[in-house]
Amino acid sequence: MLLRGAAGRGVSWRGVLTNLGRGVGVTLCALLVLVPALVAADLVRVRPLHRDGQIFVSFELTDAFSEEMRAAIRSGLPTTFSYDVELRRAIRFWFDSTVASTTVAASVQYDNLTRRYHLSRTQDGRVDTSEVVDNEETARDTMTTFDRLPLFSATPLEANSEYYLHVDVRTRPHNGWFAWPWSRATASGSAKFTFIP
Amino acid sequence: MSPTVRSAKPPFGAHAGSSRPPFRDDPRLILVGIALLLAALAAMVVLAERSAELSPDFLSGAVLYALTAADLTMLVALAFVLARNVVKLLVERRRALPFARFRAKLVAAMLGLTLIPAVLVLIVGSELIRNSADRWFNAPVDDVLTSANAVASGYYHDRQLTVSEHAGRIAGSLAAVDLAASDVGPVRDLISTEVTEGRVELVQVYRVVAESDDGRLDVVPVVDVATSSLPQADAPVSADRLASRVLAGSAESWTVEPLAAGGDLVRAAALVTGPDGGVPLGVVVVSSHLTGDVADHSRRITQAYEAYSQLRVLQRPLQGVYLSFFLMVTLLILVSATWMGVYIAKRIMRPVHLLSDGARALEAGQLDHRIEPETADEFGSLVEAFNSMAGGLAVSQRKLERSQADLRRKNVEVEGRRRYIETILERIATGVVSIDADGTVGTVNRAASRLLGLSEAAVGRPASEVFDRIDLRPMGALLKSLPAAHDPSAREVALERDGKAIYLAVAATTLQRAGAGEGGGGAVMVFDDVTPLIRAQRVATWRDVARRLAHEIRNPLTPIQLCAERLRRHFSTAPPQARALVEECSGTIVGEVESLKALVDEFSQFARMPAPRTVPVDLHALLDDALHLYDGLFDDVTIDRAFAPQVPAVRADPEQLRRVVINLVDNAIEVLRGAATGGAANNGDGGLVAVGTAHSTADGVVRITVADNGPGIPPGDRDKLFMPYYSTKQRGSGLGLAIVRRIIVEHGGNIEVSDNGDRGSTFTVELPCSA
């Protein structure tokens, strides 16, 4: 059966279905690519610093304490911000190589009875600090602002080479209808630098 | 008998060479698959029931991820199954495989039957979940829980402020006391007032000391005062940690610690500094005990609030979890329905396909093709019926083949018999003419062709047309007069061929053939040339007549002759006139009697012809000897010899054969001379008698021809020439040629007369070769 278009050109059902299927396929592919990219918007400010053979990393997650996040924290849910920090080297026309990587996590649990925030920071599962604070600002800073963390050694880096730091942030608990299994990062950020010994 | 072919080849997608049956044919695997499916459904039911016991964080995290992954997997599986079926349908339709449409329709029907209710359940369930969730988090509950939590936390906060205030006040009062003194009495007195007056339940005083090795400050307990109602627990340990943290400058100057005996201990620490306000001298930790009921209620209020708040925060992921449950069940139903449709279609199509293949195999002649029954249901019965039918066909085919073999053998036999009969018909001297049912001439054998003068062109022509020829009309009349019944009709028919009469003994009968009507099977005529027999019969008759005639005539002739001679002697003395009369009459009587005697002698000789005493005879020598008698006798007649170079000897009686030759030559000469006397013209060439010989190897005869160039013999007289008492001569007895024929016949030969070209006659004598 043919559909007669406005211009009088014959369009077959098979052609319509083919185009429809092709459109659906393109849309799905676009969603698969774009959704994680849109979700992982560039909301992390990253600053590298080289000193004493160490790569110190400072990063700050902006706009992380939304009302939903504050409500989640105030509900007493253990809330964790996990920062996957990778030191990478860009390779032209190929995948970037990862020189080193680590995971820094900041967790908070609010005690509604005592109105205090129990905070802790870990690196690769190892507890670095733990404290209890009354102030939400302090808790937010602890969760989102990391200053000069000596995360990587500068030994494997080549002098005068271009590197960049990439930080992916994952938050828990999840707060959406749909858990996209392949979308891990909710925010990310990068910063390039030239390693000068 | 070829071995039976059992077909159990799976029609689609099965591995013929694999020993393992495909999944759909392995009941254990099917049961395991169904069990896994049911287990998955049961697990989902259990998980849904216990979802309230799981932490919302776990539900919104791991469970939601797992369900989402499972849903996507199911969706991919469904898409794969559908796409696979669509692709297979297209491929099978392109390859024109059977039952592709049926399978597509069955799968579509199963999918359509389940799709609509499943999607409806999904929509209704999702709406129910959303509406229920909205009702869970309504305003009254929210207000109550928030207010209760505010009350509980406010109470704790107030108590913390109070304890901190007491700690600061006590620390200020302890600044003037030497905490390092060995006598702790003043310190105890100072803090005991706070305890005894009931403002706090426990006051602990620490003194700051410097570590000996690295100079770091630390606290050591100095004195503590507690009310007697305070439960003894591990409070000192936590107080030590709090004092150390305060000394270290931590902002965490108070804690709430649950006691094992019940209740909470609200603690606050304050740094005791020196008068100058800068050097830390000690730390005072003040604790206030909240009883168990208050603490328990407060905690339960907080826990309820937090649980409620967490549910509200995780409302969407929790809804997602339950929607994922519904979606998973829906997808499970759809995948199961699709797979079940494919499975049922295959289960249905497999025996049907096998039957179709089997039917094609039977059509191709593979009657030993059988189908292995796989089930005991109606399809199994159908397969058994097919196999039974194939067996019956095979048996019938074998019977048919045997019948065909018998038929071929009989055909060969009939063909051989036909050729045998045909050969006989061609070789025998009996003429046979068959008339087909449609009235056309079917067969004319060689003898019939010779006797009736029919060519091969007569075959296929209507018998009425063939036998309408003037000389064959008696035969046609016989055919027309045949009775309808197949009783033979025998008759003697005389035909005139080339001026000669031939006599045929004809037997005609109608043929009865299956399926033909009365008299519709045609007819057959069988006839023999009985002309020699007729002639022999006539000769025999004449011989008998001659013998009787000679006997009856000879007897009175002698007395007549004696009487006549006696009369002549008696009247010898009579007067001359009377004597002359008597002489004349008696002479006449005696002469006629002599003539009659000569005639009687010839008759007697004809009747008493002795049997020939045959010996091998050199024909040319005999002919030369016989013809030598005529040398110089006739000036007006020339006797020519035209002998064939190689003529075999014949067995004959030389005297009788010489008589034959002389008789024929005499007749020829007499005819020529008679013709010359009568004025018949010989064209001025004179009389010529040509005597020749010839040898016919094919017929096995030697021919002697005596030809003259006389006036010839009319065709109507030729057959009568050889009859006794028939003569064209005035003085002939009419027995010469009759005797000649008799001699030739008794030698096994034949004599015929024919025209000698355009003038004269030719007598042809055929004698069998002696070899």
Q: Averaged over B249-267, what is the pLDDT? A: 83
Cβ <8 Å between B153 and A113: yes
Pairing status of strand B523-529 against strand B217-226 = unpaired
The type of residue at B644 is: A
Say what percent of chain A tops pLDDT 90: 42
Q: Which carries the bigger pLDDT value, residue B637 or residue B212?
A: B637
- Give B637's strand partners: B687
Burial of B416 (0-12, 13-18, 19+ CB in 10 A): exposed
**Angle at which helices B185-196 and B139-173 pack, to 10 degrees?**
150
* Domain, as residue range, for A167: 43-195
Q: What is the pLDDT of residues B480-497, one digit of tens each?
A: 887 665 567 788 888 877
Shortest Cα distance from B90 to chain A (angstroms)? 12
Contacts of B57 in chain A (CB under 8 A): 77-78, 172-173
Lowest mean pLDDT among A33-37, B622-626, B657-661: A33-37
pLDDT of B257 over the 80 cut:
yes
Say how far apart CA B485 and CA B521 lie, in whole Å. Answer: 11
Q: Averaged over A155-162, what is the pLDDT? A: 90
Cβ <8 Å between B57 and A115: no
Cβ <8 Å between A173 and B323: no
Say how far apart CA A76 and CA A107 lie, in whole Å. Answer: 12
Residues A6 and A87 in one domain: no
Cβ <8 Å between A177 and B156: no
pLDDT of B405 over the 90 cut:
yes
pLDDT of B771 over the 60 cut:
no
Whether the pTM exceeds 0.90: the reply is: no
Say what percent of chain B tops pLDDT 70: 90
Residues A33 and A115 in one domain: no
Do B171 and B284 contact (CB within 8 A), yes or no? Answer: yes
Confidence of residue A82 (pLDDT cuts 50, 70, 90): very high
Shortest Cα distance from B194 to chain A (angstroms)? 24
Shortest Cα distance from A117 to chain B (angstroms)? 11
Q: Is CATH 3.40.50.2300 the right assignment for the domain spanning B615-768? A: no
pLDDT of B30 over the 50 cut:
yes
Query: Tokens 């009309």 identify what position?
Result: B473
pLDDT of A6 over the 70 cut:
no
Lowest mean pLDDT among B29-43, B233-247, B362-376, B646-660: B233-247
Q: What is the pLDDT of residues B708-748, one digit of tens each?
A: 988 888 877 777 788 776 666 666 667 788 888 888 988 88
Residues A31 and A51 in one domain: no
Q: What is the pLDDT of residues B456-470, one digit of tens each?
A: 888 999 988 888 888
Q: Averaged over B161-171, what is the pLDDT? A: 89
Residues A87 and A19 in one domain: no
* Cβ count near B452 (within 10 Å): 23
Residues A13 and A108 in one domain: no
Query: What DSSP character marks residue A177?
Result: S
Query: Residues of A numbered 29-48 whose beta carbons fall under 8 angstroms of chain B's beta carbons: which are they?
Result: none
Is the confidence metric ipTM above 0.85 for this complex? no
Residues A24 and A107 in one domain: no
Contacts of B160 in chain A (CB under 8 A): 114
Query: Tokens 């919302």 identify what position?
Result: B56
Residues A23 and A117 in one domain: no
- Average pLDDT value over all residues in chain B: 81
Best of B159, B297, B306 to mutate (most A CBs within 10 Å, chain A)? B306
Residues A132 and A190 in one domain: yes
Say how far apart CA B440 and CA B460 lie, in whole Å. Answer: 5
Do A148 and A56 contact (CB within 8 A), yes or no? Answer: yes
Most confident of A139-148, B183-192, B507-516: A139-148
Q: Averaged over B138-164, what is the pLDDT? A: 88
Question: How many residue pairs bridge chain A and chain B with CB atoms within 8 Å of each other?
Answer: 94
Residues A113 and A146 in one domain: yes
Q: What is the pLDDT of residues B69-111, one digit of tens each?
A: 888 888 888 888 788 877 877 887 777 776 777 777 877 887 7
Same fold, B161-299 and B615-768: no
pLDDT of A8 over the 60 cut:
no
User: What is residue A85's predicted lDDT score, i.e. its pLDDT?
Assistant: 94
Residues A183 and A125 in one domain: yes
User: What is residue B2's predicted lDDT score, i.e. its pLDDT?
Assistant: 42
Q: Which carries the bigger pLDDT value, residue A60 or residue B7?
A: A60
pLDDT of B13 over the 60 cut:
no
Six-digit token string for A120: 């802790």
Lowest mean pLDDT among A7-16, A105-114, B280-289: A7-16
Please give the C-alpha separations between residue B384 and each of B361, B380, B390, in angstroms, as whole numbers.
16, 6, 10
Q: Averaged over B566-591, what is the pLDDT? A: 85
Dihedral in degrees, nearest 10, Cα atoms B567, B570, B572, B575: -100
Q: What is the pLDDT of residues B668-682, one digit of tens each?
A: 988 888 776 665 545
User: What is residue A15's predicted lDDT score, i.e. its pLDDT?
Assistant: 47
Say how far apart CA B305 and CA B312 lie, in whole Å. Answer: 10
Q: If you classify domain B161-299 with CATH, what class do you get? A: alpha beta
Q: Which CATH number fits domain B428-529: 3.30.450.20, 3.30.410.40, 1.10.287.130, 3.30.413.10?
A: 3.30.450.20
Say how far apart CA B74 and CA B44 lie, in whole Å. Answer: 14
- A178 vs B: CB within 8 A: yes
Pairing status of strand A2-4 against strand A145-153 = unpaired
- B313 vs A: CB within 8 A: yes
Cβ <8 Å between B160 and A114: yes
Do A183 and A35 contact (CB within 8 A), yes or no? Answer: yes
- B604 vs A: CB within 8 A: no
Spatial CB neighbours of A24, under 8 Å, sequence gap ≥ 6 = none
Q: Which of A71, A78, A114 sits opposite B313 (nearest CB)?
A: A71
Q: For chain B, what are the domain ranges?
A: 5-136+314-361, 161-299, 428-529, 537-607, 615-768
pLDDT of B625 over the 70 cut:
yes
Say how far apart CA B275 and CA B5 lie, in whole Å. Answer: 115
Residues A47 and A71 in one domain: yes
CA nearest to A179 within chain B:
B65
Do B313 and A71 contact (CB within 8 A), yes or no? Answer: yes
Contacts of A131 in chain B (CB under 8 A): 250, 252
Q: Averaged over B540-563, what is the pLDDT? A: 80
Contacts of B314 in chain A (CB under 8 A): 72, 77, 173, 175
Query: Tokens 């190892």 identify what position?
Result: A126
Say what percent of chain B tops pLDDT 90: 9
Best of B256, B305, B313, B318 to mutate (most A CBs within 10 Å, chain A)? B313
Structurally, chain A folds into a number of domains equal to 2
Best of B309, B314, B325 to mutate (most A CBs within 10 Å, chain A)? B309
Residues A12 and A52 in one domain: no
User: What is residue B520's predicted lDDT score, i.e. its pLDDT?
Assistant: 63
Say how far apart CA B357 and CA B228 lie, in whole Å. Answer: 100
- B237-240 long-range Cβ contacts below 8 angstroms, 24+ apart: B238/B265, B238/B267, B239/B204, B239/B267, B239/B269, B239/B285, B239/B287, B240/B206
